[in-house]
Amino acid sequence: MTDNAKKQIPLRLSPKLYNAIAAWAEDDFRSVNGQIEYLLTECVRQRKKNGKPVPSEFDIPPELDIQ
């Protein structure tokens, strides 16, 4: 795989989560795929910066109504 090639992966999301990401993507003028890639990139960048996941209590599920 070259450095510029992107890896394709299957991803399953609940309808509520997908709709929330789709609305966010539209607000940011991105595709859903682009929004997911952006969010993952920002999380990885933040983890490298701080040496810990974001938020610091990453394994505690947030109280969101998206499931």
**Hey, what are 26's tokens?**
């539209």
Record the pTM: 0.69
Q: Answer whether 17's CB lies under 8 Å from 66's CB.
A: yes
Per-residue pLDDT of 19-65, as tens digits, reads 999 999 999 999 999 999 999 998 888 878 777 655 555 556 667 67
Alpha helices (H) along 1-67: 15-27, 32-50
CA–CA gap between residue 36 and residue 28 (Å, rounded): 12
29 φψ region: left (φ > 0), alpha (ψ -120 to 50), beta (else): left
Per-residue pLDDT of 3-20, as tens digits, reads 779 899 999 999 999 999
